[in-house]
Amino acid sequence: MTIVTPLLLDQGRPAGRAKPSAAAHLSDAQIEELGRELDALRESVIATRGARDAAYIRRVIATQRSLELAGRAALLFAKHKPAWLAGTGMLTLAKILENMEIGHNVLHGQWDWMRDPDIHSTTWEWDFVTPAEAWQHTHNDLHHTWTNVVGKDRDVGYTILRMDEDQPWTPRNLGNPLYNALLAPVFEWGIAIYDLELDEVREGRKPVAELKRGLKALGAKFVKQAAKDYVATPAAAAVTGSAKQALTATLTANAARNIWAHAVIFCGHFPAGADTFTEEQIEGETRGDWYVRQMIGSANISGSRLMHLMTGNLSFQIEHHLFPDLPSNRYAEVAVKVREICERYELPYTTGPLPKQVASAWAKVFRLALP
């Protein structure tokens, strides 16, 4: 797995290359100075990582595991409605925490500096049906390198939705709202299928042998997940006559987690204000250019500390795209400085409350269903 940083992308800007419209007022020198400021900000966080940060992630993991254990224990008595509600609620919260604040961020390498083999990007396997290694390739290696570049970033619509005007319209795009509504409760399966890169296989850019390996890994992961959620938990609850209710509870918890993850991801990438880019605009992209693209191609969600925790701090999507391998608990302090830099360089800093961002992303889904 590659941890992407701007340092890998400094190729030298060709003369006359068009800048994104939001950054057209900046000179090349200003963009490079902005890049140096953000490099310095990143280094300041790296230099101060330590015991406080390590204690944070260990505390979150302990909380998540306690919630999951308590939730599954409550489901042993799920035939009683209060136990069903309590167990489903705690299990849902545990799954959201594991996916968003723990799994996503551990798999980005945010905690590799701790040298803890139990909290490391090469060893963590998360509570999502797609295997970690497959997701790290499509997300870390591809999406974070080519953020919102139409034709390069396959996350622009996930090969299912039309999410940009530059994507050719076909009659099947009329189903955009329906596809998105169906995707939300089974989001983990949508990502799993997406991570197989079936379109790349179809176009001959990915060998069939790799697809077979991916299918085998996905099958093994599904068996593991299903055994835990849909076999072991209901079987244990059968002792009290609660097997059916425990099964509906685990199905509900997974669906609720999927809907939440879907909403958070769409708010970070598709609301009004999140820009997209052409391949010509990134030709010869420098470190400063890459930083600018991350800032104007992402959107944040405003809210409380609890909301930031439950989003995996992806409510600071701008900061996450700038610094994907910095500890997520530091994004709030980084955001203050990033916003000041955006204001000083007259760049947009797109943010808003969750309902507004969700509505904006869905408005785009509906609008781009049409030619």
pLDDT in tens, 104-149: 999 999 999 999 999 999 999 999 999 999 999 999 999 999 999 9
The confidence score (pLDDT) of residue 352 equals: 97
pLDDT in tens, 278-314: 999 999 899 999 999 999 999 999 999 999 999 999 9
pTM of the entire predicted model: 0.94
Cα gap 348→273, rounded to integer Å = 8
The confidence score (pLDDT) of residue 330 equals: 98
pLDDT band at 344; cut points 50, 70, 90: very high
> Of all residues in the chain, what percent carry a pLDDT higher than 90?
94
Task: List CB contacts of 124: < 8 A, sequence separation 6 or more.
Answer: 103, 106, 107, 132
The confidence score (pLDDT) of residue 4 equals: 44
Domain ranges within the chain, ordered by starting residue = 6-367
41, 295 Cβ separation under 8 angstroms: no
The confidence score (pLDDT) of residue 5 equals: 46
Tell whether the model's pLDDT for residue 213 goes beyond 60.
yes
- pLDDT averaged over the chain? 95
Task: List CB contacts of 329: < 8 A, sequence separation 6 or more.
Answer: 53, 56, 57, 313
The confidence score (pLDDT) of residue 207 equals: 96
Overall average pLDDT of the 202-210 stretch: 95
pLDDT in tens, 244-260: 999 999 999 999 999 99
Overall average pLDDT of the 158-168 stretch: 95
The confidence score (pLDDT) of residue 2 equals: 40
Overall average pLDDT of the 12-28 stretch: 79
The confidence score (pLDDT) of residue 90 equals: 98
Tell whether the model's pLDDT for residue 173 goes beyond 50.
yes
